Amino acid sequence: MTTESLVRHCNTWRSAGKKIVFTNGCFDILHHGHIDLLARAASLGNVLVIGLNTDNSIHRLKGPERPITHEQDRALQLAALLVTDAVCFFDEDTPEELIKIVKPDILVKGGDYSIDKIVGAEFVLQHGGKVEIIPFVNGYSTTGLISRIKEL
């Protein structure tokens, strides 16, 4: 979805009383840990919006060998999941501007973060929203998968 289309959809969902959940990531090689995060995030509200790093953004954050999967393919995979209502790219290093556009009721991040380390948490909390941290599923990471593939 373009940001313009996403704004229209968010306004429609919000006016219908829907609770909007936002999460973001690279989702470079979709795996069990990602699916768990997305399903648990979706269960917190009525609408799940996923902010997806562009290829350029991932390249800057993860290095010259990433991403493995092209952004259009990653977006298609995420959009095909039953829990997903919208996928929108962001080219910046963080999803902060996209979070301000979506104005989610719930911001979800996976991992062992503290709220003060989550980009956009302060904005969401200031606007009456909540921030949820969903623990990683042990043994599942894109970096770990890439390492195992390289060993083969």
In Å, how far are 8, 36, 119, 140, 149 from 102, measured between CA atoms? 10, 22, 14, 29, 36
Instruction: Express each pLDDT in 1-29 by its tens digit.
Output: 999 999 999 999 999 999 999 999 999 98
Class (C level, CATH) for 3-86+125-151: alpha beta
Beta strand segments in the chain, E: 20-25, 47-53, 86-90, 106-110, 130-134
What are the boundaries of each domain within the chain? 3-86+125-151
Task: Return the bridge partners of 52, or none.
Answer: 25, 89
Look at residue 140 in the predicted model and tell me its pLDDT.
72
Q: What is the pLDDT of residues 40-90, one digit of tens each?
A: 999 999 999 999 999 999 999 999 989 999 999 999 999 999 999 999 999
Q: What confidence tens digit (pLDDT) does each residue in 118-152 have? A: 999 999 999 999 999 999 887 777 777 777 788 87
Please list the residues that pair with 92 across neighbouring strands: none
Q: Looking at the whole model, is its pTM more than 0.95?
A: no
Whole-number pLDDT of residue 114: 87
Question: Max CA-CA distance within the chain?
Answer: 52
pLDDT for res 112 = 76
Residue 151 gets which letter from DSSP? H
